[in-house]
């Protein structure tokens, strides 16, 4: 499946086609720190971690003129019961710093959310952002996400905010 927007193509990532570009993108200091890749203390573990992400069915690349400029990672959310639910998802996303503040992520997320609404499987999407990442918080608000709570990330030790989007069923 590929989704086309005015400026982007969004498609599933794969190890065979996208590993080198994905590794280069996640190695950028701003991306690594913001997405938590810098928490992997053993550099030899990074290729394995990246390949696992690329194999995940919810890993999408954002391509502009055939260049990977970002990613959206969509995972089944683990509920209070400890079980994953395909009806509830958690989303994370990142862009190359050269693509920041150009509207690419809002464009991509709007298109992906529309696609998910049409599929009518996922009912809610949760997203977290660092409390000081105003651009990401503004993005979530613009997309219709509602504030849920603020918490201190136990691994990173930084404040985060949690937002949720309830997908509206499409009537046909």
Confidence of residue 162 (pLDDT cuts 50, 70, 90): very high
Which among 73, 22, 71 has a CA at the least distance from the CA of 51? 22
Digit-coded pLDDT (tens) for 90-147: 999 999 999 999 999 999 999 999 999 998 889 999 999 999 999 999 999 999 999 9
Highest mean pLDDT among 15-24, 151-160, 161-170: 15-24
Q: Is the pLDDT assigned to residue 157 strictly greater than 90? A: no
Residue 156 CA, chain-centre distance (Å), reads 18
Question: pLDDT value at position 19?
Answer: 92
Question: pLDDT value at position 141?
Answer: 97
Angle between helices 15-27 and 46-55 (to 10 degrees): 130
pLDDT top residue among 50 and 102: 102
pTM of the model: 0.90
* Domain positions in the chain: 8-166
Which among 107, 66, 113, 69 has a CA at the least distance from the CA of 91? 113
Which residues are 12's β-sheet partners? 60
Question: pLDDT value at position 143?
Answer: 97
Average pLDDT over residues 69-79: 89
Q: Please name the fold of domain 8-166.
A: Aminopeptidase (3.40.630)
Which among 25, 13, 40, 8 has a CA at the least distance from the CA of 105? 8
- Whole-number percent of the chain with pLDDT over 90: 62
Q: Is the pLDDT assigned to residue 81 strictly greater than 60? A: yes
């Amino acid at each position: 499946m590929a989704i086309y927007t005015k400026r982007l193509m969004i498609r599933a990532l794969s190890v065979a086609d996208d590993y080198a570009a994905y590794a280069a993108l996640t190695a950028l200091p701003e991306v690594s720190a913001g997405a938590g890749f810098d928490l992997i203390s053993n550099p030899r573990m990074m290729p394995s971690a990246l390949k696992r992400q690329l194999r995940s069915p919810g890993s999408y690349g954002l391509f502009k003129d055939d260049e990977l400029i970002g990613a959206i990672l969509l995972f089944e959310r683990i509920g209070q019961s400890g079980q994953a639910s395909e009806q509830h998802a958690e989303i994370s996303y990142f862009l190359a710093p050269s693509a920041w503040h150009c509207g690419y992520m809002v464009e991509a997320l709007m298109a992906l959310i529309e696609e998910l609404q049409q599929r009518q499987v996922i009912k809610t999407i949760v997203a977290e952002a660092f409390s000081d990442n105003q651009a990401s918080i503004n993005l979530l608000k613009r997309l219709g996400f509602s504030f849920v709570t603020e918490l201190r990330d136990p691994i990173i030790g930084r404040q985060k905010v949690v937002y949720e989007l309830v997908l509206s069923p499409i009537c046909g």
